[in-house]
Amino acid sequence: MKIGFYPGCSMKGGAREYQESVSALARVFDIELVEIPDWNCCGATAAHNLNKELSLSLPARIMALAEREGLTDIVVPCAACYNRLSLVQHELGADATLKSKVCSIIDLKYEGTTQILNIIQFIDKYITDKLEEKVVKPFNYNAACYYGCLLVRPHAILNFDRVEDPQSMDVLVTKAGGNAIDWAFKTECCGAGMSVSRTDTVARLSGEIMKDANDRKADFIIVACPMCHSNLDMRRPEINKYLGENITMPVLYISQVLGLAVGLDAKTLGLNRHMTEVIFPEKPVKAAADIPQKVVTTQKMEA
């Protein structure tokens, strides 16, 4: 099975372990990820704040290239890239004039027919069915699934999961044998791109997230976005300074969690690349009784 793969910049840099774990996981399930040839930057936050046409053209070119390769699905593990591609597809789909203008800018044929999948949608579509039978090492830990903003918003366009109380990652973690805990900061802002310009803000926002997960006795925070990961993981010294605590809880990508469960080793999954060292707590885990067990539902918001 061949599926288009758009890595974006982060997966080639700071989030190499994300790509490594996604690729390794795909291999386990016999899925071939085809990197879109000659892909470009999605524009990220910069483009749509500065130049509308540029912000439309960059993602459109990526999708056009995928179409040219005959790829019907593109998996976009970075939540920000996923958000940009989906929004552009939506916007061009609704405006034929704009679409033809963008086509002439990128000088490629663009139909808007590819399906853009975030990492969870990708797993749900191609892996979930076969996941449970492949689990050899249940991820037997308390996990706080953190969704952030770009994966679920704007709901009207992405129409993915319940916007204020998403569940999809919790479901996956449960299937991998983990205990997805109930906590309050699933969709709070981590500070995102302020990481460099206002590190203090990121320390505060990400700090509150870390603190709640820690107070609720999570062993790991699970993410699906390189930006969230870098803020929670790389900015840990600043976070701990802000909190006046020493939280050592590791932050894992959902692909790493599933990878571990299906028996992939730490190196293959890039666990060694995290800033906050990935240490697996001794079992049995913290007093199970006072951990809020949650009822996991897959029910979608009817917005």
Partner 1 sequence: MSRIGVFVCHCGENISATVDCEKVARISGELKGVEFSADYKYMCSDPGQTMLKDAIREHKLDGVVVAACSPRMHEPTFRNACAEAGLNPYLCEMSNIREHCSWVHPKSDLTTDKAESLVRVMVEKVKKNKALNSIKVPVTRTALVIGGGVAGIQAALDIANCGHKVVMVEKLPSIGGHMSQLSETFPTLDCSQCILTPRMVEVAQHPNITLYTYAEVESVDGFIGNFKVKVRKKSKSLDEHLCTGCGLCTTKCPQKKIPNEFERGLGFRPAIYVPFPQAVPNKPVIDRENCTYYIKGKCKVCEIVCPTKAIRFDQEDEIVEVDCGAIVLATGFDVLKPDFFPEYGYGKYKDVIDGLQFERLASASGPTQGMIRRPSDGEIPKKIVFVACAGSRDPAKGIEYCSKICCMYTAKHAMLYKHKVHDGTPYVFYMDIRAGGKNYEEFVRRAIVEDETHYVRGRVSTIYEKNGKLIVKGVDTLMGAQPVEIEADMVVLATAGVANKGSEELAQTVHVSYDAHKFFAEAHPKLKPVETNTAGIFLAGACQAPKDIPESVAAASGAAVKVAALFSNDLLTREPLIAVVNRQAPPVYSSCVGCFLCQSVCPYQAIEREEIKNRNGEVIRTLAKVNEGLCQGCGTCVALCRTKAIDIYGYSNQQVYSEIMALLND
- Residues engaged in binding partner 1 (CB under 8 A): 155-156, 162, 164-165, 182-184, 212, 215, 301-303
Q: What is the DSSP string of 56-105?
A: HHHHHHHHHHHHHTT--EEE--SHHHHHHHHHHHHHHHT-HHHHHHHHHH
Q: How far is the CB of 149 from partner 1 (least distance, A)?
A: 12
C-alpha atoms less than 13 angstroms from C-alpha of 11 in its C-beta half-sphere: 27
Q: How far is the CB of 303 from partner 1 (least distance, A)?
A: 6
Report the DSSP beta bridge partners of residue 32.
2
- The nearer residue to partner 1, 64 or 213, going by C-beta atoms, is 213
Q: How far is the CB of 163 from partner 1 (least distance, A)?
A: 8
Say which DSSP state 107 is in. T
Q: How far is the CB of 301 from partner 1 (least distance, A)?
A: 8
- The nearer residue to partner 1, 32 or 164, going by C-beta atoms, is 164
- The nearer residue to partner 1, 48 or 294, going by C-beta atoms, is 294
Q: Are 151 and 118 in contact (CB under 8 A)?
A: yes
- The nearer residue to partner 1, 162 or 274, going by C-beta atoms, is 162
Q: Say how far apart CA 217 and CA 143 lie, in whole Å.
A: 9
Q: How far is the CB of 6 from partner 1 (least distance, A)?
A: 29
Q: Say how far apart CA 264 and CA 261 lie, in whole Å.
A: 7
- The nearer residue to partner 1, 67 or 161, going by C-beta atoms, is 161
